[in-house]
Structure 1
Amino acid sequence: MGKRKSSQACLRGEWKEVSTRSVKLPEIDSESFSTYLQWLYTNEVVVSDEDITDEHIVKARYGERLPVFQRHFAAFFKLAILADKLGNARLANAVVDRIILVARVVRLGPSACNIATVYSQLPESSPVRSLVVAYYATEVKAEFMTKHKEQFPYQFIFDLMVHSKKREEEKTSNTPSYPGERCRYHQHNEKVPNV
């Protein structure tokens, strides 16, 4: 199992959590966990009372709406990190779907700061990492990336370059790769089949 204990494994075997019947997750903030619990009951990813897809928010001036959108993206990514730590593919997929919906409606994507969080806390194999790369490859102008080049993680820039090269080689420029088929960014296992 390596260095990380899964939450289910902690409640079996010889771990101390077996006797206390509790699993501590100090690296998970209470807001993300609260959102996770709400998702368990409602099957909806809601990170704030404010619906950022509301028309008046979408049409607000760029400077006013940008901080609101980036707070939402930050919350989505924290939830994706929680899903990864819990090994919950259904939650991870729900977060991906919400990110795609919001990015499509508000026509803005995650900031360089939010991408740095994704890259520092999610594994290389994470579909969320692939999603932000695909978004930037197709939706973000070079001018923006040049202006903020110091803020992007090196690995993100490398992944973006590889993604762009693969698109060129596969000659898929006619078909949008972002979001493309959303299942491309989902996780699948025996509990969450590819349907």
Structure 2
Amino acid sequence: MSVSYQQKHSPSKLPPSPRARGDQFQSDLVAKRLLSGPLLEITVGPEAKKWHVHHNLLRHHSSFFDEADLINGEEKKIKDGKVDLSEEDPKAFRILVKWLYQGQIEDVSKLGKDQKWDYAFACQNLYILCEHIGIRELKNLAIDQFRKGCYETRLVPGADEIKPVYDRLPPTSPFRKLVSRIAARQLMDPDSKRDASIYKECFQATPDFAVDVLNAIREGSDGLLLDDPSEGNSCRYHEHQNGDTCHKTVRFGDAKP
């Protein structure tokens, strides 16, 4: 049987080069160092769930867990080998731990239909957590899974889900832009019977959200100009019973200079 050049010289069958062996050796040393040393006790969520994670591993990914890093130049985040993250979502933190030790997170596409939205929302909270502790790479993975979860479930965040995005993320956050555009699309959907009141609570609590939604609608409408409300002969702005004859009709355009 003949053997092609590719088969005969397949890279998978060749021994690793000295450089590759050296790179692997260095990688093994780094992994061994990161998974050694003391464990940091982290309290997560309102129920104060305790996690114990390798301190070296946490410091490798985020200066937030460096004891030399100060808050406002004085107060340390870490005290006696402990960190308080009681404001964060335990489900989001669980995903973080998986990523720290396995280098990946679950794909929402592989989850059951009844699990997809819960996981997507956990990824929203993961994004907020990563903003807090400063892990950009995982933020990008989290927002990708959130978007995919919205698409596959055909569900969108409501006011309760949107509020923490605006409460805890900076004005320039891509996640703010994402949820405001999702809301704008919902309001502009011609097949939807819902009006802007579905976001009333969020508009009141976070005026920036209202501004972002209006800007998203403006950008998405390609500069479409609405009809001039000061024109026309209708009774749209009058107060009388339906069907009543309007005795005072204003005909704009009839007036002469």
TM range (shorter): 0.5 to 0.7
Residue equivalent to 2:219: 166
1:89 deviates by: 0.7
Instruction: Please give the secondary structure, in 2, of the residue aligned with 1:28.
Output: coil
1:128 deviates by: 0.7
Query: Which range is displaced more, 124-133 or 103-112?
Result: 103-112
Kindly provide the CA deviation profile for residues 20-70 of structure 1, in whole angstroms up to 9, marking residues without a partner as x.
344333322433222111122334334xxxx8646973xxxxxxx6xx665
Within 5 Å, which residues of 2 pair with 1:37-186?
A: 37-46=97-106, 53=109, 57=113, 71-138=118-185, 141=189, 143-153=193-203, 154-168=207-221
Residue equivalent to 2:64: 7
1:129 deviates by: 0.8
The 1:130/1:122 distance shift into structure 2, 3 A limit, reads same
- Structure 1 CA distance, aligned partners of 2:66 and 2:128? 19
Is the contact made by 1:116 and 1:152 (CA closer than 8 Å) also made in structure 2? yes
Kindly provide the CA deviation profile for residues 83-123 of structure 1, in whole angstroms up to 9, marking residues without a partner as x.
00111111110011101111122222212210112111211
Identity of aligned residues (%): 24
1:10 deviates by: 3.7
- Structure 2 CA distance, aligned partners of 1:15 and 1:43? 31
Query: Which range is displaced more, 140-149 or 115-124?
Result: 140-149
AA partner of residue 64 (structure 2): S
The 1:167/1:40 distance shift into structure 2, 3 A limit, reads same
- Structure 2 CA distance, aligned partners of 1:45 and 1:145? 36
- Structure 2 CA distance, aligned partners of 1:100 and 1:167? 18
- Structure 1: give runs of 5+ residues left out of the alignment: 1-5, 58-64, 172-195
Larger Rg: 2
AA partner of residue 11 (structure 1): A
AA partner of residue 133 (structure 1): S
Which has the higher relative contact order, 1 or 2, with Cα contacts under 8 A spaced 6 or more apart?
1
AA partner of residue 129 (structure 2): L
- Structure 1 CA distance, aligned partners of 2:110 and 2:94? 23
The 1:118/1:41 distance shift into structure 2, 3 A limit, reads same
Number of positions where the alignment pairs a residue of Structure 1 with one of Structure 2: 153
TM-score normalized with structure 1 length: 0.62
The 1:37/1:151 distance shift into structure 2, 3 A limit, reads same
The structure with the greater share of residues assigned to strand is: 2
Is the contact made by 2:156 and 2:182 (CA closer than 8 Å) also made in structure 1? yes
- Structure 1 CA distance, aligned partners of 2:140 and 2:123? 11
Is the contact made by 1:118 and 1:129 (CA closer than 8 Å) also made in structure 2? yes
- Structure 1 CA distance, aligned partners of 2:139 and 2:78? 27
The 1:45/1:157 distance shift into structure 2, 3 A limit, reads farther
1:19 deviates by: 7.1
Kindly provide the CA deviation profile for residues 141-181 of structure 1, in whole angstroms up to 9, marking residues without a partner as x.
3633435132333322210101222344579xxxxxxxxxx
TM-score normalized with structure 2 length: 0.49
Residue equivalent to 1:28: 88
Instruction: Please give the secondary structure, in 2, of the residue aligned with 1:20.
Output: coil
User: Over the residues paired in the alignment, what is the CA RMSD in angstroms?
Assistant: 3.2
